[in-house]
Structures are given as structure tokens and as C-alpha cells.
């Protein structure tokens, strides 16, 4: 019987491993396709059947970072030979790079990428910071109507952003916050704050109150006990909350599309606008998407050890 049970357990483990591998391949397939398309020649991006094996090139990234126009005539052979390698790739595609004198005109992608970094980082810091203080108050003090207040905070996440985007746009236009970094930051902080409060409250509840009581007996003030005792203990929760808030702000599309136009526009609404000569340039779009995935992937990877506890504790535990 023991041998039969052992064989059954082995078979079950193998089935579980196979299921995990299949699920991993399914989830990673779109990532692979975006990454591979970012290094494909333009003609292979829409080939039928799809091309899997090809010689990678960096031309899509060159097109992503430069302004270009369609060439009306054949490039001069001497100018072609004198051009740098990356400009030759643009020539080979039937386009030329726009220049002011000898200076190459860069595309708007670096500015949009920087806008995403500024808005996502600042909004994450503010949302996690305010959420941590708020969660500490709910966890440690008796507040009248606590359950109703927590429900009200959570209710801000019950509507999708697109539902309130038009009213917010009208209000922002009246106060002059449309197409501004501070306007997007305020929206993302408000949107992420409820999640931050609920998740951090669960972490605060996990920290024994005796730690603070001992610190208070030793002469610490409440604020000193919070910063020297509670905050280090809550570091795992703060890191996990920051990951989720950063991902939400980094990937947000509806507000960024409606509330911004040029100055504060982030990368998500800008990337699909990269069109080629009459048709979408899928390799350039894929290159922009691939670069856009890297910061959030790196940030999540660095804090990966905190994510499991962030999922299994916090807001999902009463």
C-alpha cells in the first residue's frame, strides 16, 4: 500500500510540474512574441506563416528613437557611404532621418518614457507612504466608524478608471491640471491609495503591539516607535505594496490617454501611435513595448521575495 501511495504521489507531482510548465509557457508566449518582433526585420513582422527563426537586428530600436520621413528619391551613394551604420539601416528601409543641421532629431519616445518613470515612481512613493501611515492608524487606534471608513476607501476601486475619466478631465481642465505631471500623479495616488491602505493594514495587524509598548516604556515617543520599530518590521509589506502600486501606475492607459496630450503623456498611449509609411510599424511598436516592459520587470524581480507574503497576507486576511 505504501508503494502504491508513493507511486500515486510521484504521478501527482509530475502532473503538477507539467501543468506549471504548460501554464508558464502560455503566459510567456506573448512576452516572447513581443521581444522577438522587436528584433525582426519589418517584412517578417507580418509574414504568414509567422517567422520564428530569423537574424535579429536593431533597426526597430533605431526607428523608435529617431524622427524619419519617407525618401522621395534615391540617396546619394557618397552620402550613404559616409553615414553611420544606424543611419544606413534607415536608408535601407526607404526612409531618411530628420536632422537640424548635423543634429539628429530624436523621437518623442524618450520623453514619454521619462514621463512614465516620473509619474509611476512619485505616485508609488506617495501612495505607499500615505497608505502606511493610514493603515497604522487603523491598526493601532480605535476609530469611530472604522469599518465604514475602510469600506469607503475600498469603494474608490470599485469603478474602472474609464468611468470617471471624462468628469475628471472636465474638472482638470477647469483648474489647469490637464496634461500635467502633477495631475496624473494625483489621480494615480488616489487610485492606488485604497489598495495600499488595505494591504498595509493587514501587515500592520501582523506586527505585535508589544514591540511598540516596550519601546514606549523605554522612553520612545509614538513617532519614534513607529519609525524605529514598526517601519522596519513592515518593510516586507511596504515592498510588496510598492510593487503592485508601481505596476498599476506604470501600465495605466485610460487616464494617460484622456488626461494628457503632449507635455505629460506617458508611454502607454504613445507607443501605439508609432506608424510607418501608411501601415503600422509593428517592429517599432514592439521595440517600444519591449523597452517599456523592462523597468517594471526589473523592479518586480528585485522585490520578488516579498511578493509571496504580499499576496498571502495583508488585505485578504481579516
99-128 pLDDT per residue, tens: 887 788 888 899 999 999 999 999 999 999
For 318, other C-beta atoms within 10 Å of its C-beta total: 5
What cell does 113 get?
518614457
Q: Is the peptide bond before 49 cis (omega within 30 degrees of 0)?
A: yes
Sign of CA dihedral 244, 157, 165, 171: negative
**pLDDT level of residue 279 (50, 70, 90 thresholds):** low
- How far is residue 157 from each of residues 197, 201, 240, 242, measured CA to CA in Å? 12, 17, 19, 17
Give the global pTM: 0.85
Give residue-wise pLDDT tens across range 12-68.
Answer: 888 889 999 999 999 889 999 999 999 998 888 888 888 888 888 898 999 889 888
Please state, in angstroms and rounded to a whole number, the distance separating the CA atoms of residues 241 and 130.
12
Largest CA distance in the chain: 84
Q: Which three cell numbers stand for residue 270?
A: 504613445
Q: Which DSSP helix (H) or strand (E) runs through 136?
A: helix 109-140
Instruction: Please report the beta strands in 67-167, taking only residues with DSSP state E, as ranges in sequence order.
Output: 68-70, 95-97, 99-100, 103-104
Distance CA(231)–CA(71), nearest Å, equals 60
CATH class held by domain 108-315: mainly alpha
Sequence ranges of the chain with CATH classification 1.10.3720.10: 108-315
Task: Decide if pLDDT at 315 tops 50.
Answer: no
Where residue 2 falls among pLDDT bands split at 50, 70, 90? Answer: very low
Q: How many CA atoms lie within 13 A of 312 on its CB side?
A: 6
Amino acid at each position: 500500500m505504501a508503494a502504491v501511495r508513493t507511486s500515486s504521489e510521484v504521478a501527482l507531482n509530475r502532473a503538477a510540474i507539467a501543468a506549471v510548465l504548460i501554464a508558464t509557457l502560455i503566459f510567456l508566449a506573448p512576452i516572447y512574441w513581443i521581444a522577438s518582433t522587436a528584433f525582426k526585420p519589418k517584412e517578417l513582422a507580418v509574414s504568414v506563416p509567422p517567422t520564428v527563426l530569423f537574424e535579429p537586428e536593431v533597426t526597430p530600436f533605431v526607428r523608435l528613437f529617431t524622427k524619419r520621413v519617407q525618401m522621395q528619391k534615391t540617396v546619394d551613394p557618397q552620402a550613404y557611404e559616409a553615414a553611420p551604420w544606424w543611419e544606413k539601416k534607415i536608408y535601407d528601409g526607404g526612409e531618411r532621418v530628420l536632422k537640424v543641421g548635423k543634429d539628429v532629431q530624436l523621437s518623442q519616445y524618450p520623453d514619454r518614457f521619462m514621463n512614465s518613470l516620473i509619474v509611476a515612481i512619485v505616485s508609488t512613493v506617495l501612495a505607499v507612504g500615505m497608505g502606511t501611515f493610514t493603515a497604522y492608524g487603523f491598526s493601532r487606534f480605535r476609530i469611530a466608524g472604522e469599518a465604514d471608513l475602510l469600506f469607503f476607501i475600498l469603494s474608490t476601486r470599485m469603478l474602472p478608471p474609464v468611468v470617471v475619466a471624462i468628469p475628471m478631465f472636465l474638472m482638470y481642465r477647469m483648474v489647469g491640471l490637464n496634461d500635467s505631471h502633477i495631475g496624473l500623479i494625483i489621480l494615480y495616488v488616489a487610485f492606488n491609495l485604497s489598495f495600499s491602505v488595505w494591504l498595509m493594514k493587514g501587515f500592520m495587524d501582523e506586527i505585535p503591539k508589544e514591540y511598540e509598548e516596550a519601546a514606549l516604556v523605554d522612553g520612545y515617543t509614538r513617532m519614534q516607535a513607529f519609525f524605529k520599530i514598526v517601519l522596519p518590521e513592515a518593510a516586507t509589506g511596504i515592498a510588496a505594496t510598492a510593487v503592485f502600486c508601481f505596476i498599476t501606475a506604470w501600465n495605466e492607459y485610460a487616464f494617460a490617454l484622456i488626461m494628457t496630450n503632449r507635455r505629460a503623456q506617458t508611454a502607454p498611449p504613445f507607443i501605439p501611435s508609432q506608424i510607418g509609411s501608411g501601415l503600422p510599424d509593428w517592429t517599432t511598436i514592439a521595440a517600444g513595448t519591449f523597452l517599456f516592459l523592462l523597468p517594471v520587470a526589473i523592479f518586480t524581480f528585485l522585490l520578488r521575495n516579498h511578493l509571496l507574503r504580499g499576496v498571502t497576507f495583508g488585505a485578504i486576511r481579516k
